[in-house]
Structure 1
Amino acid sequence: MELGRRERKKQQTKAAISEVATMLFLERGFDAVTVAEVARAADVAVQTVFNHFPAKEDLFFDEEGWWRGPARAVRESAGDPLDALEAHYLASIRERLAVGHLATWKQFVRTIEASPALLARRRMQTEELVQTLATALDERSDERVRNRLLAAQYAAAQNLFEEELLRILPDDASGDELVEAQQQLEQVVAEVFAILRKGMGSETV
C-alpha cells in the first residue's frame, strides 16, 4: 500500500510538472523557457524535473509513446489495417475534443513549428512511427515494400491533418466552433483515407 501511495505521488508530481511546462511553452515558446523556470513554476527542484523527464523535449512531448499507437491499432484489429488506422485517428480527434484539448492543439502545432529542437524530436518520433507501423503490417502480410509505403503514407497523412487543423480551427474558438472544426477535420480524414484505399488498391493488407 505504501508503494502504491508513493507511485501515485510520483505520477501526481509528474503530471503537475507537465501541466506547468506545457502552459509556459505554449505561452512563450519552447526555446524561450528553461527547465529551471519550469521547476520554479512547479515548485520542485530542477533535479526532480529531470527525474521525470530526461530531456527538455520530453516535457513537451509528454504523451508516452503516441507514435506507437498506429502499430498497436493494427495489431488489435482483425480487419483492414486502413480501417484500423482511420478509426484510431478519429478516436484521437474525438478524445481531444472530449477532454478540452482540441482548442490547444493548434497552438501545440505552432509551438513545434517554431522550435528547431521540437521539430527534430518530432522527426525522430515520426521515423519510429513509420518503423513500428511497418513492422506491425509485416506481421499481417509479407508485402514488405507495400507495408513500408503504407506506413510512410500514414505518417504523411498525419502531417496533412495538422496542416488542415491550422486552417480550419479559429483562434480562441468557441465550443460550437470546436465541434464544427472537429466535423470538418473528420471529413478531411475520410477523404484522405478514401484516397489511400484507392492508391493502395481495394485488397486488404
Structure 2
Amino acid sequence: MATKAKPGLRERKKQQTRLAISQVATRMFIERGFDHVTIAEVAEAAEVSVNTIFNYFSTKEELFFDRGEEGVEALCRIIKERREGESALDALHRVFRQVVKGDSGPLRVQNMKPFIATIEASPALRARARLLLEQSEARLAQTLIEETGLQPDDPTARSVAAMVMGVWWMLIQDLQARVLRDEPDSKFRPALLRLGERGFELLRSGIGDYCLRKKSPPPPAK
C-alpha cells in the first residue's frame, strides 16, 4: 500500500497558521459568544490581517467549525474503510459502539460543553451546523453510489443516506443535550448506547446488507 507523502515545509507552516488562528478565534467565541466577536477582533488577537484570515477561512462560521470538512467526510471514511464481509451499516454500527463504549478513546465531554453551548447560543452557528448535516448526507449518498457502482441518480443511495443521517443526527443531539445537562459518564453512555442500538436495529430492518464488501476469494492452492 502506498504511503501518503508528508506535507512540505510551506504546507506545514500554512497548517500551523490556520490552527493558530482557529485556536484564538475559538477561545474568543466561547468566552464572549460567537455573535459578539468580529473578524477584525480575531485578526488583532491572532496578530494577523483580516485578509490573512480570509485566506484560510471563507466565512466566520467556517472559522468556528474549522474541522467541519472532517465531520462531513467522517461517515464516508468509515464506509470506505469497512472490513471484508461488512456492509455500510455494519461498519457504522461497529464504530458507534467503539466510540460510546470508549474502545476508540474517551469521549472528552468536559471539552465539548463550551463548544456546544456556544453553538446553541448562536442562530448563525445552528444554521451552519444544519448545513454541515445536509452536506454530510449528500456526501454519504455519493460515497454509497461510488462503493456500489450504481448510477449517479440511484434513489437507493439517497434514501439510505437520509435514513442513516436521521439516526446519526438524533444521536448527536441526544449526546449534546446530555453534555449540557452535565450528566455523568456512568449515565450518558448507557443511555446513548441504548438509543443507538435501537436506531441501528430499525435501520437494519430497512437497509439490511446494502453496500456489502464481499470477502476476497482465498488464493488458489499451489
TM over 0.5: yes
CA distance in 1, matches of 2:194, 2:30: 31
Query: Matched residue of 1:11: which SS?
Result: helix
Query: Matched residue of 2:181: which SS?
Result: helix
Match 1:58 to one of 44, 59, 62: 62
Instruction: Please name the residue that 1:69 is paired with.
Output: 74
CA distance in 2, matches of 1:137, 1:83: 14
Match 2:202 to one of 180, 195, 199: 199
Instruction: Please name the residue that 1:131 is paired with.
Output: 138
TM-score, scaled to structure 2? 0.73
Instruction: Please name the residue that 1:48 is paired with.
Output: 52
RMSD: 2.7
Instruction: Please name the residue that 1:154 is paired with.
Output: 168
Instruction: Please name the residue that 1:82 is paired with.
Output: 89
**Any conservation in 2 of the 1:161–1:185 contact (CA below 8 Å)?**
yes
Instruction: Please name the residue that 2:220 is paired with.
Output: none
Q: Which structure has the larger Rg?
A: 2
CA distance in 2, matches of 1:71, 1:45: 35
Q: CA deviation at 1:185?
A: 3.7
1:86 to 1:37, Cα distance in 2 relative to 1, 3 A: farther
Q: CA deviation at 1:10?
A: 1.5
CA distance in 2, matches of 1:61, 1:11: 15
Higher relative contact order (CA closer than 8 Å, sequence separation 6+): 2
Q: CA deviation at 1:90?
A: 5.8
Instruction: Please name the residue that 1:34 is paired with.
Output: 38
Match 1:188 to one of 168, 188, 191: 191
* Uncovered stretches (5+) of structure 1, i.e. residues with no partner: 170-179
The structure richer in helix per residue is 1
Q: CA deviation at 1:97?
A: 4.5
1:92 to 1:162, Cα distance in 2 relative to 1, 3 A: same
Q: Percent identity?
A: 36
1:88 to 1:201, Cα distance in 2 relative to 1, 3 A: closer
Aligned residues: 190
TM-score, scaled to structure 1? 0.78
1:92 to 1:20, Cα distance in 2 relative to 1, 3 A: farther
1:8 aligns with 2:15: no
